[in-house]
Chains A and B, each alone.
Chain A
Amino acid sequence: MSRSWIDQALAEHKEPEHDEVDAGGRRQLPLADREQQVLDRIDRARRRRPKVREERITMSHGAGGKATHTLIEAVFLGAFRNPLLEPLEDAATLAVGGARVALTTDSYVVSPLFFPGGTIGDLAVNGTVNDLAVSGATPLYLSAGFILEEGFPVADLNRVVASMRDAAAAAGVHIVTGDTKVVQKGKADGCYINTAGVGLLERDVSLGVAQARPGDAIIVSGPIGDHGITIMLARGELDIEADICSDTAPLNGLVAGLLDAVPGVRAMRDATRGGVATILNEIARDADVGVLVSEDQIPVRAEVRGASELLGIDPMYVACEGRLVAVVPGEAADQAVAALRAHPLGEQAAVIGRVREEQPGIVQLKTAFGGTRIVDLLVGDPLPRIC
């Protein structure tokens, strides 16, 4: 970063002299109005087209928070912009020879490769299956690309591949094409996997977080944060032990049950990197609505809460690999929760909040203590390489 980055930032956001200051420099507007002016100014600044300031990629760019959003919008969307990509949903939905299909891809760099509840192979299959499922598609075929580091034990590779085979069987998909590359020792960390997937859109649904309307209910399908905390503890850097495992699981069965019961579902997202908080912010931003959630409605396992307290992490930002957030019309909330609870992966599904008109773009949380605060996107992530 060059020395002048501060000057640049200041110049970009230069505001005309504030008219609320009189000749004597005294401020005239009441405090609340001045605060509102500042909030409006911030709102305008946040709606500007994002720009990558850094000269090099930093870990924050991969964390799923603000820096990732900025990178995607400024670099990738900037270069590839087209109507199919633009919604930036978990999968693109397109028409091929009369059929509507969903297409998605995801890369997996989790460290460690093996952890309680799963392996990198489980994530690679389930993650892509879930991206298709929450788009309303029936996942069908996957590709698998491997980047292997010189020296990686074949036994470990066999273990990873066996877990992919089992996960694919459980999800009812087939891995039908693939690729292998080997890089020199030190140029990668053991094993990275990329999977892409296609699914068939059989239902007449058009899902997207931009569809959220005031009055809609927001639902999570189960306790949040299990995966992220499990990985963090599995790294053994913290000397904390807890009896939790990753929630990695294919969500296509759960989603099918929900869509059968409530065809009017507006949107679904699987809560991976950035956690539930990030999805709530995507809803608020893309639908230009306010979101209000209650802390004491959000299911979190005691172990996850305890570890998060110790580490100073908010479970709302911690990744899951087998949970989804759904937006459904308010009147269908009970029906949706019942449909989710009927499936083993959704037993603890709960309504956590509502979409509303007030404060568009902002996610507010009613804390268990009885106060209110906002829930913003994180800039970086305290837990890198969790998937």
Chain B
Amino acid sequence: MRFVDEFRDADKAHALAAKIAALCEPGRQYKLMEVCGGHTHTIYKHGLEDYLPESVTLVHGPGCPVCVIPMGRVDDAIHLASQPDVIMTSFGDMMRVPGSGGSFFDANAEGTNIRMVYSPLDSLKIARQNPDKQVVFMAIGFETTAPSTAMTMLRAAAAGIENFSVFCNHVTIVPAIKAILDSPDLRLDGFIGPGHVSTVIGCRPYEFIARDYGKPVVVAGFEPLDILQSIYMLMVQLSQGRSEVENQYSRVVPWDGNLVALKAIGETMELRPYFEWRGLGFISHSALQVKEKYAAMDAERLFQVPGVRVADPKACQCGEVLKGVLKPWECKVFGTACTPETPIGTCMVSPEGACAAYYNFGRMNRTRVAEAAQAARS
């Protein structure tokens, strides 16, 4: 298949793997964080870690939009969906995310009408077909999905659709990266920068990471060769003692981002003073809310949202996993009490979550597999 197979070429992967291995200084350990959940998914889905030398470890970051939604917000959403004459629309990823009393699927089994949509624009279609209902879109995601929510709001305003609103949970990536850089319990050598977010915000927002924290950043695409090449680019920077922002995904990501998309966000949304991230706690100016001008489309203004903060279960270590302090399997409840079937933590829900990716794709002891292969050869 064109535009896909070129980026999954096993021969090129072998060549890159050899170059990466050659750059490893003996005795040195390299910890690289892929910020974006889409990267985590690609890494596991294609078994990319098989190509990395043992001294290079990938740490899975906080960039999974579903994983960072705190339980209290899921409860708020179910509360909204339970109001009379409300249809809620949501991306499929959200349907299984547990709130304190269950997920959207469970809520539907008890009578709410939460529908899966592929695009926020589908909500407008549903709003038109159901003029006597209020259609609330459960908006989640980083700067990647925020423009599509913004465009949907602008479209609704232009078309005079009055029964559409947004429950806004959009978050921004840079404050989360900063929180991780400031966290005392983690040492990282470099970042594989998020690709889709960067198509919107560009590469400039990461310059502080290279400048102030001395860590290289390479914005990467989503095919396995993209990621392998980005790792190689990071290793080159590290071997030369450089820390710069580089763009591996230049076929899609413009250095300055997408001004049209940014304008649409700026027109409809503004920064919240603070927002709770699952596992990371409250981070100031890290999320978006609907602007006053579009108050009629703000579900939080139209309805009373309980806004009760729900503490994560003590046993759940999503926070440590999201920050990359723990590997998924190091969490106490991983794979036993917390599975994709009955997820306790959000990292186990979304296919982009580090725990779900490891459970579904990576649940084999790679070191052991490698040892066994070596033993068989010798």
Interface residues of A (CB under 8 A from B): 1-3, 5-7, 9-10, 12-13, 15, 31-32, 34-36, 38-39, 41-42, 45, 53-60, 66-67, 70, 237-238, 302, 305-306, 309, 312, 358-359, 362, 364-374, 376, 379-380, 382
With the chains together, A45 CA to B329 CA distance in Å? Answer: 14
Q: Are B363 and A32 in contact (CB under 8 A)?
A: no
Q: Are A371 and B48 in contact (CB under 8 A)?
A: yes
Q: Chain B, 338-378, contact with A by CB distance < 8 Å: what is the 0/1 string?
A: 11111010000001000000011111110111011000000
Given A34-B330, A58-B109, A372-B47, 13 additional A-B pairs, CB 8 A: A3-B100, A9-B337, A12-B337, A39-B365, A41-B335, A57-B109, A60-B105, A67-B341, A367-B47, A371-B48, A371-B50, A374-B362, A376-B360
With the chains together, A66 CA to B13 CA distance in Å? Answer: 34
Chain B, interface size category, equals 35 or more
Which chain A residues lie closer than 8 Å to B339 at the CB level?
45
* Listed A/B pairs (16) with beta-carbon separation below 8 Å: A1-B102, A6-B313, A7-B313, A9-B333, A39-B365, A42-B335, A56-B106, A56-B109, A237-B118, A305-B1, A358-B372, A365-B47, A367-B46, A371-B49, A373-B46, A376-B340
For chain B residues 279-329, which have a beta carbon within 8 Å of chain A?
A: 313, 315, 329
Q: Are A374 and B337 in contact (CB under 8 A)?
A: no
B122 vs chain A, min Cβ distance (A): 7
Which chain B residues lie closer than 8 Å to A238 at the CB level?
118
Within 8 Å by CB of B50, from A60, A370, A374, lies A370
Q: Chain B, 232-265, contact with A by CB distance < 8 Å: what is the 0/1 string?
A: 0000000000000000000000000000000000
Which chain B residues lie closer than 8 Å to A59 at the CB level?
105, 108
Q: Are B102 and A38 in contact (CB under 8 A)?
A: no
With the chains together, A349 CA to B45 CA distance in Å? Answer: 25
Which chain B residues lie closer than 8 Å to A53 at the CB level?
342
Q: Are A376 and B359 in contact (CB under 8 A)?
A: yes
Within 8 Å by CB of B13, from A36, A38, A369, lies A369
Within 8 Å by CB of B336, from A5, A13, A36, lies A13
Q: Which of A6, A58, A358: most chain B CB closer than 10 A?
A: A6
Q: Which of B44, B103, B122, B329: most chain A CB closer than 10 A?
A: B329
Q: Are A373 and B362 in contact (CB under 8 A)?
A: yes
B351 vs chain A, min Cβ distance (A): 7
Q: Are A58 and B224 in contact (CB under 8 A)?
A: no
B352 vs chain A, min Cβ distance (A): 10
With the chains together, A348 CA to B108 CA distance in Å? Answer: 42
Q: Are A371 and B47 in contact (CB under 8 A)?
A: yes
Which chain A residues lie closer than 8 Å to B175 at the CB level?
none
Which chain A residues lie closer than 8 Å to B330 at the CB level?
34, 38
Q: Are B363 and A374 in contact (CB under 8 A)?
A: yes
Nearest to B348 among chain A residues (CB) is A379
Within 8 Å by CB of A5, from B48, B102, B362, lies B102
Which chain B residues lie closer than 8 Å to A369 at the CB level?
8-10, 13, 46-48, 224-225
With the chains together, A12 CA to B49 CA distance in Å? Answer: 33
A59 vs chain B, min Cβ distance (A): 6
| Contact of A10 with B315 at beta-carbon distance under 8 Å, contacts A31-B367, A369-B46, A371-B46 already known | yes
Q: Are A362 and B122 in contact (CB under 8 A)?
A: no
